[in-house]
Amino acid sequence: MDIMTFVKILASAGLSYLLGSIPTAYIFGKLLKGIDIREHGSKNVGATNAFRVLGKGPGAAVLILDIIKGIVAVVFVAGLLDASVTGRIIAAVAAVCGHNWTCFLNFKGGKGIATTLGVLIGLTVVIPQARMAVLLCLGLWIAIFLISRIVSLSSLITAVCLPAFMIVFNVPTSMIILSIVFCVFIVIRHQPNIHRLLSAQEPRVRMPWSRTS
């Protein structure tokens, strides 16, 4: 690797981290309700807590923007600076790290599900083999959520299945490694949720057709 390529990858990673670090839920909380979302609900700076604290509209906006952060980092930031698969994968990790450990909030961020989805969508642009794996993960998440109404359970099971889906569809080794890294990130960020799940105390999302919470 020559020095210019190294500099481009480094710049791409740095910009992707800063992009991922934009605390969307925190910003929406301040702008819409004048609150620090870290002091409400689950105290998490992510889309799920935004839905819970700010409402459906703002929550949906936070979710979409967090996904877009990941797509932009991989497709545009890395695409402009270092369009190689390696460069995009490094940008993907940097963007998710930015969301999870944002420099704008003392390195305490969200849990990374939406931004992880975003970077995976972005990577399917250059790695077509990964498309079915990502679609299966999305379908699995939706199915588990509709059955359980527990966001964390859906995210954890999907994260564990992600590397297996990547292997099944014979994606490049670098993508398999990336999926394992993301799985580890998600499990680490969901430690409090895992404890609540094991003690049957994890809250369920109230669905429009639900009779109980």
In this structure, is the dihedral angle defined by the CA atoms of residues 11, 14, 17 and 18, taken in order, positive or negative?
negative
pTM comes to 0.93
Question: From CA 170, how far away is CA 155, in angstroms rounded?
Answer: 23
Determine the pLDDT at residue 210: 58
pLDDT at residue 48 is higher than 60: yes
Estimate to the nearest angstrom the gap between the alpha carbon of 210 and the chain centroid.
27
Burial class (CB in 10 A: 0-12, 13-18, 19+), 110: buried
The tokens of 45 are what? 């700076």
Domains of the chain, residue spans: 1-126, 128-213
pLDDT at residue 212 is higher than 90: no
- On whether the CB atoms of residues 79 and 139 are closer than 8 A, the answer is no
Question: From CA 111, how far away is CA 132, in angstroms rounded?
Answer: 24
Residue indicated by tokens 């399917």: 124
Determine the pLDDT at residue 213: 43
